[in-house]
Amino acid sequence: MKRASIQETGFDRIFQNVELAAGYAKRHAASARRAGARLARFLNRASCSPARVLDVGSGSGDTLLELAEHLPDAELVGVDLCQTLLDISRRKASERGLDGRVRFEEASATALPYDDVSFDVVFSQDTLHMVDDPVRMLNECARVLKPGGVARIRVIRRSWLLSCVEGIFRSGFTRHEIAEMLAQTSFEQVAIRSGLLYVTSQARR
Ligand SMILES: C[S@@+](CC[C@H](N)C(=O)[O-])C[C@H]1O[C@@H](n2cnc3c(N)ncnc32)[C@H](O)[C@@H]1O
């Protein structure tokens, strides 16, 4: 099955439309919060207490805001290109009194405005399939990761069956494609877990 571009699935229209983006934030808030709790458990199991965490394609902001509750000493940064979602995320951070510690910034996943080796954890969920150059996004994630830091990237898995329900599933990647892309990056110790395709990796030490 050929991969459909995000333009073909029509999904990118959502993030350029204020009402649709706000609707997306509402619908996905609970699942994004669950992602934050899952990430917290994962970091806990890995005995990882990060000082700085980056969420690439931070969407409704709920993943980072949930994670912030579990990591009271960490600084958390979310980047996204959708102004509506950034506004919503910043408002939620401020309502929870977290705006000093959790920041949401307008930036592209393929050109992160951060220094090399500046984050302990880089997280991204369901964003890789939306960018024009996914290898570049993966390389940007690797670049900003500190030596020994952890990247956890959830990738939409391409599925003919699921695309009957939601077209977006035609724009995802196969496990093989992910492995090929990762081979073009500086990530090391890569583990690709099936199901939703979780990529966990460590930056070069
Ligand atoms: C499917 S949503 C996932 C949002 C969030 N990670 C979640 O799991 O709920 C994809 C997000 O990626 C953002 N996005 C798309 N292309 C981007 C890019 N090139 N740089 C930064 N963010 C991007 C969209 O605005 C959207 O918020």
Model confidence pTM above 0.75: yes
pLDDT digits (tens, 9 = 90+) for 40-90: 999 999 899 999 999 999 999 999 999 999 999 999 999 999 999 999 999
For β-strands 198-202 and 145-154, DSSP reports them as antiparallel
* % residues pLDDT > 90 (the chain): 75
Report, in angstroms and rounded to the nearest whole number, the Rg of the chain calculated over CA atoms: 16
CA–CA distance, 122 with 139 (Å, rounded to integer) = 12
Å from CA of 26 to ligand 1 middle: 15
The token duo for 103 is 């920041």
Å from CA of 80 to ligand 1 middle: 6
Q: For 6-202, which CATH superfamily applies?
A: Vaccinia Virus protein VP39 (3.40.50.150)
Å from CA of 155 to ligand 1 middle: 12
Tell me which residue has its CA closest to atom 13 in ligand 1.
57
Ligand 1 pocket: which of 127, 132, 152, 173 to mutate (most atoms within 8 A of CB): 127
Where does the chain have alpha helices with state H?
6-9, 18-45, 62-70, 83-95, 134-144, 160-163, 175-182
pLDDT digits (tens, 9 = 90+) for 92-130: 999 999 999 999 999 999 999 999 999 999 999 999 999
Give residue 127's pLDDT: 95
pLDDT surpassing 80 at residue 196: no
Domain segments of the chain: what residues? 6-202
